[in-house]
Structures are given as structure tokens and as C-alpha cells.
A and B are shown apart, each in its own frame.
Chain A
Amino acid sequence: MKVTIIDYNSGNISSVINSFKEVAKDKVNIEVTSDLNKIKSSDKVVLPGQGSFKSCVDALNKINGLTEALHEFAINNKKPLFGICVGLQMFADIGYEETETKGLGWISGKVSKIDNQNGKYKLPHIGWNQINIVKQSKIFKDIENNSHMYFVHSYEFIPDDKNVISATTDYSSNIVCSVEKENIFGTQFHPEKSDKLGLKMIDNFINI
């Protein structure tokens, strides 16, 4: 099996690479690339993302044919894809960080700034928070409800169809922190930085 982590200059992805390699050991081949042919021949794809919504979308668009290749992979061919942090946010139609920016449009919805309730809540939302599992997801196998995961973000994904939500976390309001729509998975938190449970989630994705 081949799992490809998309390297599109979206900031620091070394932790994502390290965690997937740790879980994969020698059983699974982990590729780190933006090569369109390699993406096409992958069994699974991981879409990381750090920095702003706009900078990630811009970085994706800079690589000729990349968004089309991802679309073909996830939407036409329905192969498993895992978006992490801004990688998840980009599933939306539109994001409002820095300026209004069009997303991939795979899961209808928008990405807006978390309401800090006039300074009552610090932003970014940084640290370990518990996830409230609202729908069983394939990546939650052997992950208990209320498990702690590591978060770093100031913006939240608000999907139109609430049925895609697999977990929320409590910070200012119930923030969507995990989605599953058919073959598309995404977490707002960082499984690659969430210790053993995070690695378990990565293992679950690899084993889908």
C-alpha cells in the first residue's frame, strides 16, 4: 500500500511525516510529494496544512494540476483522503482568514474565526482539549469518547450539513473538530502531535 502526504509548501509538515512513518514502519510505503502521477497511483492521501487558509489555498493552486488531481482522487475515484488542520478547513467552499478565499468545495460550508466572546477565550485555541464523538468514524476505532487531542487554530469549519460532523470540541462553542463524508476524513486537531491516541488515529486511517 502507498500513502502519499501532499507536500505543497504549506509550512511545516515534518511532524506529519514523522508520525506517519512511525505508524507505517515497513508495512506501508509513505511518500511525500506533489507529483501528480504519484498521487494518482496512491491508495490514500494525506492533506496537511499550516498557516492561514489563504496561504494554503494559494500554495495548492501554485502547483499546476494539483487541485484537479486531488479532486479526481477524492471525489471521482472516492479514495480515502485525510485532511489535517487547514487541510480539513480547505474542504469548505469558502474561508475568511486574511481575506475571502475559495476553498476546494468538497464539503459545503465555511471557515470563520472562532468567537472569542470579547476576549473571554484566548486565540489561538492552543493545547489539549477533549473530543466529543457525535458519530462513529472509521478513524475513531479504539478511540474513546472524551479523549484528549492537541489543537492549534483560530478558525473553525462550519459545515452546512451537520451529518458530516464526527466530533466536536468545547471552546467558546461546540467547534467541529472531525468530519467524515464517505471517503473524506478530516480533523481540526493534530493527530501527529496527539501522542499515542493520535498515532492510533493515523493507524486507523492507514488501515481503512
Chain B
Amino acid sequence: MLKNRIIPCLDVKNGRVVKGINFVDLKDAGDPVEQAKIYSDGGADEICFLDITASKENRDTIYDVVERTSKKCFVPLTVGGGVRSIDNINKLLNCGADKVSINTAAVKNPKVVLESSKKFGSQCIVVAIDAKKNGDKWEIFTHGGRNNTGLDALEYARKMEDNGAGELLVTSMDRDGTQIGYDVELMNNIASNVNIPLIASGGVGNLDHLVDGIKLGNASAVLAASIFHYGKHSVKEAKEYLDSKGIPVRI
């Protein structure tokens, strides 16, 4: 049977990991390649890089990171952050990314999703949705949660499915960074209304939150950053815990 996936995410800035695993035996703790390798050796089902490089001059650093990682890690690699154009996507895929996640660009210009999924196939197009609760619905935010577009998250998710997205990476902006758990209501709301897989993100503080994301949020995959950093939990521990709760995982 198909297993639920655990996806550790690394924030990368100017080609370096911002947070990450703090292992003493790492030669270079800031190297995304070494960190990704630790995750994949530990049983991560996929690896996600979120490029948070702010300055234009340093944006090309991600290509080198992706290229080096893809020569060492043989599980799927998703790259997000600053993915704007077909050219961007083409370059990331050529460097060895298996999927790209498109966020702001998809809101600004939904055609990017349509065109890129036609050109490269839906399997490599993930649409990242940052949503925040407003009254009884969720609205889409862009630019790292700063701009409210007023778009309804569920309607938008459906539209992205129609445009050819292969997966949706849904982050609750209310929960992101809080470590109090996913917004499972938001996840379930979207997951039960689209036919493509949903990756839950934002708010994980402990292993039970991963369980909730799958059981209550109906997510196919759970993404987390900080619980895997500094060795708080290993991916292996997370999988064993999910397994003990009756969730199918690859062990």
C-alpha cells in the first residue's frame, strides 16, 4: 500500500543552511548537501529545500546546491522559494531537482502552473499555498505571508489542480513557526476537496502533530523543519512513532 511521506525541509540562504541539524561530526554544518544526505540516509521520503535568499546577486547559489545534492541523495528533491518562470523551473530541474514548488508566481500568474505542468509534466509541479484564517474561510497570502490576496484558499486550490499541479503544499500562516501543530481543519478542508495529494506544513512542534496532520488533516505527506533540526527528533524516530500509531510509513 501507498505510504504516508515524511519530508524534512531545510531553509537555505545564500547557499547555506540557516537552521539545521547540529551534529558535531558534520564537517560543514552549514552545507545543505551534508544535511540532506543525513536526512536521506535516515529514511526521509523526500527532501525539500526552501530558498530564502533575499538578495538578487546570490540567487544563483541554489543551483549549485541542488546540483551537488542530487549527486549524493537518491530520493526526490523538491526546491521552492523564488521560483518564478519556466526558465527558473527548467534550470532547477536540469540541476537535478525532481520537483519545484511555486508560490507567489502561481498567484500572480496562474498560467505559469498551466504552462510548466504541460512542458515538464504535473509530477514535478508543486503549488505552495500559504493560507491564513479570516472569519470562516482561509485566504491566500504571498511574499512569505506579508501580502493578503483575499483569494479563497479552497477555490484557489481547485483552480491549481485544474491548471495541472501535481501536488499542493499547504502552509498555515497562523501556525507557521508556532510549534503548536498543523491547522488540521485547513488541511482537511482542502485535502477532501481536491483529487491531488496534499502536503501539510506549518506548526509542527512534536511527533503527535505529524500524526494529526495525516489522521485529522487527511494529508498524504507531512513536511516539517524545526523538529528535525538540532537533533530534537530524527526522521527514523518520527517514522517509528507514526508506525506505532497505525499510520503506514516506509521503514
Q: Which residues of A does B touch, CB under 8 Å?
A: 11-12, 14-15, 18-19, 21-22, 50-52, 55, 116, 119, 122-130, 148, 150-154, 170-171, 192-196, 198-199
Contacts and interface: CB of A to CB of B under 8 A. Distances in A.
A11 B98 contact: no
Interface string B22-53: 00000000000000000010000100000000
- 3 smallest beta-carbon distances between A and B, as pairs: A51-B121, A12-B93, A152-B123
A65 to B, nearest CB: 25
Contact of B166 (A12, A116, A124, A193): A124
A11 B96 CA distance: 11
Interface stretch (B71-79, B103-111, B150-158, B181-189): B71-79
Interface stretch (B1-9, B130-138, B227-235): B1-9
B124 A122 contact: no
B179 interface: no
B5 A15 contact: no
Interface string B81-101: 000000000000111111000
Nearest to B95: A14
Contact of A193 (B76, B121, B197, B250): B76
B3 A170 contact: no
Nearest to A123: B195
A126 B197 contact: yes
A22 B71 contact: yes
Contacts of A150: 75-76
Nearest to B3: A128
Nearest to B1: A170
A159 to B, nearest CB: 22
Contact of A124 (B5, B75, B196): B196
A18 B71 contact: yes
Interface of B: 1-5, 40, 45, 70-71, 74-76, 93-98, 119-124, 166-167, 195-197, 220-221, 250
A18 B96 contact: yes
Contacts of A119: 195
A11 B220 CA distance: 25
Contacts of B166: 124, 126, 152
The SS class assigned to the A binding surface is mixed
A161 B95 CA distance: 39
Given A15-B96, A19-B74, A195-B40, A127 B2 contact: yes
A12 B94 contact: yes
Contacts of A130: 1
Given A22-B74, A122-B197, A171 B2 contact: yes
A130 B119 CA distance: 30
Which of B70, B97, B221 has its CB near the most chain A CB atoms (within 10 A)?
Answer: B70
A16 B166 CA distance: 20
Contacts of A125: 2
Nearest to B75: A195
A18 B74 CA distance: 9
A138 to B, nearest CB: 21
Contacts of B122: 124, 154
Contact of A50 (B1, B3, B76, B124): B124
A21 B74 CA distance: 12
Given A124-B197, A195-B75, 6 more contacts: A12-B94, A21-B71, A129-B2, A148-B3, A153-B123, A196-B74
Given A119-B195, A123-B195, A18 B70 contact: yes
Contact of B123 (A116, A126, A128, A199): A126
A128 B196 contact: no
A122 B3 contact: no
28 contacts: A11-B93, A11-B120, A11-B124, A12-B93, A12-B94, A12-B120, A15-B96, A18-B71, A18-B74, A50-B123, A51-B119, A124-B123, A127-B3, A127-B4, A128-B3, A128-B5, A129-B1, A129-B2, A148-B250, A150-B75, A150-B76, A152-B123, A193-B76, A193-B98, A194-B74, A195-B40, A195-B74, A198-B74
Which of A14, A22, A129 has its CB near the most chain B CB atoms (within 10 A)?
Answer: A14
